[in-house]
Chains A and B, each alone.
Chain A
Amino acid sequence: MTARPTLAQAAIAGAIALFLAAFLVVPVLAVVWIAFADGAGGVTLSHFGAFFGVSLLRESFWNSLYVAAASVLVASVIALPIAYFTSRFRLRGALAVQTLGVLPLVMPPFVGAVAMQLIFGRNGSVNLLLGDWLGVNVPFMEGLNGVIFVEALHYFPFILLNLSVALANIDPAMEESAQNLGAHGFRLFRRVVFPLAMPGYVAGASLVFVKVFDDLGTPLVLNVTNMLAPQAYLRITSMGIEDPLGYVISVIMIAFSILAMWLSARALRGRDYATVQRGGAAAPRRRLSRGQAVLAYGWIALVLLLVLSPHLGILLLSFSKVWSFSVVPEAFTLENYRTVFADSSGMIVNTLVYAGLAAFVDIVIGTTIAYLVLRTPLPGRQFLDLGAAAALAIPGVVLGIGYLRLFRGVEIPWLGGALTASWIILPIAYSVRRLPYAVRSCTAALQQLHASLEEAAENLGASRRRTIQRIVVPLMAGGILAGFVTSFITAAVELSATLLLASSESMAPMSYGIYLYMQSIAGRGPGAALGVVAVVIVAVGTYASNRFMAGRSAQQETKP
């Protein structure tokens, strides 16, 4: 590592800073400014007063808080027993449990929402059966319940994964010493196990809270508009870009995102405390008693069934002629797929192009930021890292509103045409939103790379640039690919920013298409078919990257 930053490093850092400023910082600041501006150049809180003066917005505010908190609660109820059972007991069917951890994530919640309505809605399969057998009707999907149900089922893996890691990392002596001093059963869990796993739980729970709080697609598809994200979207699209209340909602959403992330960062600060002095063996897994086995397997089976229901529902729906007021569709057809490929193949191509472009931009910026932060003495380099990570706190709706406002009337240089009307705005928005993930996985990859490997290359005569080309990038390839795939698959199903920024059907990606189809009863079939195509793309991407990473880690087992 040289003591002084080079001009090239500074120039590259400057370019990235410019990109982040133009497409993240300034648009968000513009949104915040308008929420507080009094129109005469001064600052005012009157818009916030107005916001709380409108009863619909007040209601939306509480509804969003309620839905996010209730989703965290439901997701916790699903995830907690599974994480505990799998980490402390000998369970068969580990594969099924692992599947639980990823299956929900391959299908965006707004895609599954309609299928969930057909299965769990008032006239859905489950309630039809319940009505026949027991004469009862459970309002799973009524109003806010539906949003909570769909979101909890989609996002519980975040809690499950974080909690499982935290539980697995607890030094078994921590639990044994509590048993030795007289604690067991639920008291042991409440007083020692759960507090020690708390950081992992909080990290997962706050992520779920933010995701649900910011989600626009799911409430819209379920026709729930009295929440913050839908209100922000509806105000901007119906009242126009000048209406200040849309900006107030945006600021509130940013504030809650930052609050939740701050909580999670605080919880994670003491994170490795339970794992220090870890001695030897992992916690011995206990055998389940007969009663416990019935409970554990029963719960896992039930959750697996619930988790699979949107997938199954969307698949059934995509092959169905008509599906309403019946437990399963009455007739099957391939017509929906024909419609989709005839009318909407452009959307599929758009998605691949946009998500591919966004992911490419992300890994280029991600690798560069990782390198600048970890390997150069460039002053202020942490701000690049921080800037990229800040995108996590910005809901898609807010970014969309910011772009619409800031780039209103801005022409694309040389090519001409309004930026906000061009397709190019979508990959830009996607790349900014997914950048934190790419930076994280590139940074992790570079951190694992010992600096001596680069020093050896420089010692043998390679210049800094040649060292990066021949040593750093090849050895980081796994992390870079992981970043690319994560960015790609999440961008492929992004809806919040898309809804605001897609200005014509010809430039719309699949996520927008699915949303449009789902607006009408007749469109549900093709919408589901397009949803299946999206899920397949995401699943193939996930599978390919897992395979690649597994192969790579096996291959690099002997590395120093």
Chain B
Amino acid sequence: MTEPVRVEVENVSLAFGATQVLRGIDVAIAPGEFFALLGPSGCGKSTLLRLIAGFNHAQSGHVRIGGDDVTRVPPWERNVGMVFQSYALWPHMTVAGNVAFGLEERGRPREEIRRRVADALALVGLQDLADRRPGQLSGGQQQRVALARTVAIEPRVLLLDEPLSNLDAKLRVHMRRELVQLQRKLGITTIFVTHDQEEAMTTCDRIAVMSEGRIVQTGTPVELYDAPASRFVAEFVGSINLLDGNLQTGAGEGATFVSPQVGPVPLPPSESLPGSGDVTLAFRPHGVSVSAARADPARIWLAGAVAEREFLGEFVRYRVRVGGADILVDAPHLTGAPWFDPGAGVEVGIDPREIRVLRP
């Protein structure tokens, strides 16, 4: 196995006609890292991946793989393996034929091809299906053939374009674990494109969140979840409550947040509090409790009424109307835990340590 390589994208911009798809992308992926490009459809993540593979061409900027500038290198000379969303298995070749293709194109001796095809198929557990046609395989098996076909050439970088989106929910969870194991075993630098934040968080070392052709935040899953840098990231990664308003910082003793919807909210002193100005308060539903009376004095309490209730098994999600705003509350569910019916008046308690203050 070859040494893992670094992938660097420097100031890359790309437009299709009048549509600007990538705007000044800068990202560096460490050798051996499992890296996700995460964002809603149309954010440019697949375009960026295809650019690294050589199928799209930047109007400006550079792509470096293992230190080599590959910006002008055609796809067939890059030695980066890509797994396509549709798998793109050639129906006129057998499974073994598909896997052997890249090695044949590289002019490897027949014996070596035979051995490496067998190895690659064994890696994904499909050695018995070598003589089948792709059309005779299940979706999960096709996915594995696509993976085997790509890793057989021992690429410097592995690119995965929404590889799990064509699988059903259960298989998706299973395959994403296999993907992680495979990546750890090969130690290959891997870039994974997905629009599913759960998929990205469970599989990847680091994630770049993209929006409208830009990378808006890069970090580990925990960093993104706990400290979203913007409203967009906060909303895209997990569920979150957002309250818009004005922050008035007093001298020394905490601050008051004034929201037109819920009125004044006192905030305890914290080093993370910025100066006065317009801000958005962000806090996750599981950092909020709901009860009939104000219990824990360390929490910030607001009075409201239950508007809606969804039972999700491990927790109950309430939508509580507080003033003019809706606050989501995830209350852990245990057998016999008390429920609040829609219409019931409740107290909502926010853990101040879970609040992030976002600048607009």
Interface centre among B82, B85, B90 (most CB of A within 10 A): B90
Given contacts A176-B55, A274-B91, A181 and B102 within 8 Å (CB-CB): yes
Question: Which residues on B sit within 8 Å (CB–CB) of A278?
Answer: 86
Which residues of B are at the interface with A, using a C-beta cutoff of 8 A? 53-55, 74-82, 84-88, 90-92, 101-102, 105-106, 135, 149-150, 153, 166
Residue of A nearest to B93 (CB): A195
Task: Establish whether residues A173 and B84, one from each chain, have CB atoms under 8 Å apart when the complex forms.
Answer: yes
Q: Count how many pairs of residues, one from A and one from B, have CB atoms less than 8 Å apart in the complex.
A: 78
Check if A171 is an interface residue, CB within 8 A of chain B. Answer: yes
What B residues does A174 contact at CB under 8 A? 88, 90
Rounded to whole Å, the gap between the CB of B47 and the closest CB of chain A is 11
Contact of B101 with A178 in the complex, beta carbons under 8 Å: yes
B82 touching A177, Cβ below 8 Å: yes
Residues of chain A with a CB closer than 8 A to B135's CB: 270, 273
Judge if A41 is at the interface, Cβ distance under 8 Å: no
A153 at the interface (CB under 8 A from B): no
Q: Are B91 and A176 in contact (CB under 8 A)?
A: no
Closest to A272 in B: B91
Closest-by-CB residue of A relative to B107 is A182
- Whether A187 sits at the interface, judged by CB under 8 Å, is yes
Q: What's the Cα separation between A270 and B90 when bound, in Å?
A: 13
**Within the complex, what minimum Cβ distance (angstroms) separates A179 from chain B?**
4
User: In the complex the two chains form, is B86's CB within 8 Å of A171's CB?
Assistant: yes
Instruction: Write out the residue numbers on chain B whose beta carbons fall within 8 Å of the beta carbon of A187.
Output: 105
5 closest A-B pairs by beta carbon, nearest first, are A181-B102, A182-B105, A173-B88, A177-B88, A277-B86
**Given A178-B101, A180-B81, A181-B101, A277 contacting B153 (CB threshold 8 A):** no
Residues in A neighbouring B74, C-beta threshold 8 A? 179, 184
Given contacts A176-B75, A183-B76, contact A279 B90 (CB under 8 A): no
Known: A181-B102, A196-B91. A173 touches B85 (CB 8 A): yes
Q: Tell me the minimal C-beta distance from A184 to chain B in angstroms.
A: 4
> Could you tell me the distance in whole angstroms from the C-beta of B263 to the nearest C-beta in chain A?
48
B133 CB → nearest A CB, Å: 9
A198 within 8 A of B: yes
B76/A177 in contact, CB under 8 A: no
How many whole Å from B53's CB to the nearest CB in chain A? Answer: 6
Q: If the complex has contacts A196-B91, A198-B92, are A183 and B101 also in contact, measured as CB distance less than 8 A? A: yes
> Which residues from 194 to 249 on chain A have a C-beta closer than 8 Å to any C-beta of chain B?
195-196, 198
Q: Is the CB of B88 within 8 A of A171?
A: yes
**A173 contacts B149, C-beta separation under 8 Å:** no
Most buried by B among A173, A181, A277: A181
A192 at interface, CB cutoff 8 A: yes
Residues of A within 8 A of B90 (CB): 174, 177-178, 192, 195-196
CA distance A247 to B150 in the complex (A): 59
**Given A176-B55, A177-B82, A273-B135, A182–B91 Cβ distance below 8 Å?**
no
Q: Give the docked Cα–Cα distance between A191 and B101 (Å).
A: 9
Contact of B105 among A181, A196, A273, A277 (CB under 8 A): A181
Question: Which residue from B76, B79, B91, B102 sits with its C-beta under 8 Å from A184?
Answer: B76
B53 CB contact (under 8 Å) in A180, A183, A195: A180
Residues of A within 8 A of B55 (CB): 176, 179
In the bound complex, residues from chain B placing their C-beta under 8 Å from that of A182 are: 76-77, 79, 102, 105-106, 153
User: A279–B102 Cα gap in the complex (Å)?
Assistant: 23
The minimal Cβ–Cβ distance linking B135 to chain A, given in whole angstroms, is 6
Query: Smallest CB–CB gap between A270 and chain B, Å?
Result: 7
Distance A184 CA – B76 CA, assembled complex (angstroms): 7
Assembled-state Cα–Cα distance A195/B97 (Å): 14
Question: In the assembly, what is the distance between CA of A173 and CA of B87, in Å?
Answer: 8
Cα distance A274–B76 when bound, in Å?
A: 22
Residue of B nearest to A191 (CB): B101
With A176-B55, A180-B76, A182-B102 as known contacts, state yes or no: A279 contacts B86, CB within 8 Å.
yes
Docked complex Cα distance between A274 and B86 (Å): 11
A179 and B88 within 8 A (CB): no
Give B304 Cβ to nearest chain A Cβ, in Å.
44
Indicate which residue in B79, B85, B105 contacts A279 across the interface (CB closer than 8 Å).
B85
- Judge whether B105 and A176 touch: CB under 8 Å: no
Shortest A275–chain B CB gap in Å is 10
Q: In the complex, which residues of chain A have a beta carbon less than 8 angstroms from the beta carbon of B106?
A: 182
Whether A195 and B92, one on each chain, are in contact in the complex, defined by CB atoms closer than 8 angstroms, is yes
CA distance A279 to B84 in the complex (A): 10
Q: Evaluate contact between A180 and B82: CB separation under 8 angstroms.
A: yes
Nearest residue (CB) in B for A284 is: B55
Considering only residues 75-94 of chain A, those with a C-beta below 8 Å from chain B are none
Given A180-B75, A182-B106, decide whether A196 and B92 contact each other with a Cβ distance below 8 A.
Answer: yes
- A504-539 contact mask (Cβ, 8 Å, vs B): 1 or 0: 000000000000000000000000000000000000
Which residues of A does B touch, CB under 8 Å? 171, 173-174, 176-184, 187, 191-192, 195-196, 198, 270, 273-274, 277-279
A180–B87 alpha-carbon span in the complex (Å): 13
- Known pairs A182-B106, A187-B105, A198-B92; list 20 more (Cβ under 8 Å): A171-B86, A173-B86, A174-B90, A176-B82, A178-B90, A179-B54, A179-B74, A180-B54, A180-B81, A181-B76, A181-B153, A183-B105, A184-B74, A184-B76, A192-B90, A195-B90, A196-B91, A196-B92, A270-B91, A274-B91
Task: Look across to chain A and name the residue whose beta carbon is closest to the beta carbon of B55.
Answer: A176
Using A196-B92, A279-B85 as known contacts, say yes or no to A180 and B80 having CB atoms under 8 A apart.
yes
- Cα A353 to Cα B135 in complex, Å, equals 51
Nearest-neighbour CB distance to chain B for A127, whole angstroms, equals: 44
Residue of A at shortest CB range from B77?
A: A182
Residue in chain B with minimal CB distance to A196: B92
CB distance from B170 to the nearest CB of A (A): 20
A sample of 19 inter-chain contacts (CB < 8 A) reads A173-B87, A174-B88, A176-B55, A177-B88, A179-B76, A180-B54, A180-B80, A182-B79, A183-B76, A184-B74, A187-B105, A191-B101, A195-B90, A195-B92, A270-B91, A270-B135, A277-B86, A278-B86, A279-B86
User: Is the CB–CB distance between A179 and B75 below 8 Å?
Assistant: yes
| Complex-state Cα separation, A543 to B208, whole angstroms | 55
A37 to B91 CA separation, bound complex (whole angstroms): 47
Inter-chain CA distance A181–B135, complex, in Å, is 21
- Residue on A with the closest CB to B152? A181
CA distance A54 to B91 in the complex (A): 47
- In the complex, the chain A residue whose C-beta lies closest to that of B106 is A182
For B105, list chain A residues within 8 Å (CB): 181-183, 187
Tell me the complex Cα distance, A270–B153, Å.
Answer: 29
CB proximity of A515 to chain B, nearest CB, Å = 45
Distance from B84 Cβ to chain A, minimum over Cβ atoms (Å): 4
C-alpha gap A198/B88 in the complex (Å): 17
Which residue, A192, A195, A277, A278, has most C-beta atoms of chain B within 10 A? A277
Bound: A274/B93 CA distance, A: 12
Instruction: Report the bound CA distance from A176 to B89 in whole Å.
Output: 11
Give chain A residues whose Cβ lies under 8 Å from the Cβ of B92: 195-196, 198
Most chain B CB atoms below 10 A, which of A179, A187, A270: A179
Complex alpha-carbon distance, A198 and B150, angstroms: 25
B153 to chain A, nearest CB (A): 6
Residues of A within 8 A of B153 (CB): 181-182
Q: A172 vs B166: C-alpha distance in the bound complex, in angstroms?
A: 17
With most chain B CB atoms within 10 A of its CB, the pick from A173, A191, A198, A278 is A173
State the CA gap A171–B134 with chains docked (Å). 15
With A179-B76, A180-B81 as contacts: A277 and B102 at CB distance below 8 Å:
no
Cβ-neighbour of B149 out of A171, A179, A181, A191 (below 8 A) = A181
User: Within the assembled complex, what's the spacing in Å between the Cα atoms of A180 and B50?
Assistant: 10
> Closest residue of chain A to B105, judged by CB?
A182
Q: Nearest B residue to A174 by beta-carbon distance?
A: B88
Are the CB atoms of B101 and A277 closer together than 8 Å? no
Q: Complex: how many Å from CA A270 to CA B166?
A: 22
A428 to B272, CA, bound (A): 92
Closest residue on chain B to residue A178 by CB atoms: B101
- Distance of A112 Cα from B233 Cα, bound (Å): 69
| Closest B residue by C-beta to A194 | B92
A438–B92 CA distance with the chains assembled, in angstroms:
33
A42 to B90, CA, bound (A): 53
**Chain B residues positioned under 8 Å from A184 (CB to CB):** 74-76
